[in-house]
Amino acid sequence: MAGMFAIILTLATFLTGILWFLEKFKWKPERQRKVEEVRKQTDGKIDGKILAEVGRPKKWVDSMASFFPVLFVVFVIRSFIFEPFQIPSGSMMPTLLIGDFIAVQKYAYGIKDPITNTTIIPTGTPQRGDIAVFKDPRHPTIDFVKRVVGLPGDKVVYQADTKELLIYPACEVTSDNCEGQQTIPLNLNYGPITASDWVEVFGKNSANFYTNEEYNNLNLPTDGSSLAFTLNKRNETLGDVAHDILLLPMQVNSVKDFYKQVGQKPGEWVVPKGYYFMMGDNRDNSDDSRFWGFVPEKNFVGKVSAIWVSFDKQPNEWPTGIRFSRIGGVN
């Protein structure tokens, strides 16, 4: 959807731009010369209304050309500076909630062609701990938002029993004998596991997330068709970024469900050059690199920098309010 909008915006800007330039530098000067010719032929005695009519542009041209400055500004901002996105799922809770509208820095990982997403001018690369928007490698028309966990060359190990990460970073190329990963994993500074303020409610065909206060005000059916579990939270540090993750106590992932990389044990991955390993903060409710593999650098759209508005809502439902306290930067 975002890709189609980019194509439509680009075409609209291009077409209205052509009309704007033709009007400004060709058609308008021609009309002005014609007005002067008529004025000279009548010794200036012609009715001003007639002269105004001679010099008036066609309505459709004037209307279309007038859109160009606005479309051009929107095109530049959206394509190269910031692009708005809406969070539709809970995979990045508690950092990003359903109903958050985020601003994404388009220039963080390079100035890119707005249609093909090809890097034109390199400006930087994704860093460990960044929250980034990228194209789903399986379905390039779909945008995902996850956290950067593994960088090129890293070895990432997900311990399914403890739900902890081990990351062996690629050694810095400072000598000819640098090969593979460092033998000592990063200190991710895991904090204690505590109960969060979030409850996950499973219905017949869906799972929704509620605060404890919202959950206490729900009128859930008593026929057993709904189950509720309080999510646990834990602090984790990736790079220089400390953030909370959510864990579903009853959820146990089997390494057999994970993406199997050739030459590696189940639940272990070595990130190839030019690729990244992405995970959601809501660890037991995230479809991420653990299940389908790596994200090529070319798929990155930008870095999430802030929440500019937040609506209190559930998926596919109308907002019930605005969460003003959530507006601001994210990490």
Residue 12 domain boundaries: 2-81
295 and 151 share one domain: yes
Q: pLDDT per residue over 172-221, tens digit each? A: 654 455 667 788 899 999 999 999 999 999 987 788 999 999 999 888 87
The CA–CA distances, whole Å, from 4 to 1, 115, 148 equal 5, 9, 26
The CA–CA distances, whole Å, from 71 to 61, 116, 162 equal 15, 20, 51
Rounded to the nearest 5 degrees, what angle is found at the Cα of 322, between the Cα atoms of 78 and 194? Answer: 100
66 and 130 share one domain: no
| CA distance from start to end of the chain | 26
In the residue annotation, 91 being an active-site residue is answered as yes
What is the sign, positive or negative, of the torsion defined by CA atoms of 60, 66, 70, 76?
positive
Query: Residue 163 maps to which CATH number?
Result: 2.10.109.10
The mean pLDDT of 122-129, rounded to a whole number, is 95
Among 67-76, 149-158, 217-226, which is the least confidently predicted range? 217-226
In residues, how long is the chain?
A: 331
Pick the closest to residue 153 from 133, 120, 178, 190 (CA basis): 178
User: Does any domain span residue 90?
Assistant: no
pLDDT-derived band at 296, boundaries 50, 70, 90: very high
Q: Which of 91, 286, 289, 310 is catalytic?
A: 91
Q: pLDDT per residue over 29-78, tens digit each? A: 888 887 777 677 676 667 666 666 766 778 888 888 888 888 888 888 88
Cα–Cα distance between 105 and 121 in angstroms, integer?
A: 15
- In this structure, which amino acid lies at residue 179? E
**3-class DSSP state for residue 316?**
coil
Q: pLDDT per residue over 235-290, tens digit each? A: 999 988 899 999 999 888 888 899 999 999 999 999 999 999 999 999 999 999 99
CA atoms within 13 A of residue 310's CA, in its CB half-sphere: 16
293 versus 41: the higher-pLDDT residue is: 293
Whether 233 and 247 have beta carbons less than 8 Å apart is answered as yes
276 and 166 share one domain: yes
In the residue annotation, 289 being an active-site residue is answered as no
Cα–Cα distance between 267 and 265 in angstroms, integer?
A: 6
144 and 195 share one domain: yes
User: Does any domain span residue 208?
Assistant: yes
Instruction: Determine the pLDDT at residue 183.
Output: 83
260 and 174 share one domain: yes
User: Does any domain span residue 91?
Assistant: no
50 versus 96: the higher-pLDDT residue is: 96
- What is the 8-class DSSP label of residue 78? I
How many domains does one find in the chain?
A: 2
324 and 281 share one domain: yes
130 and 77 share one domain: no
pTM summary value: 0.84
Cα–Cα distance between 115 and 294 in angstroms, integer?
A: 22
Q: Which of 106, 112, 135, 146 is catalytic?
A: 146
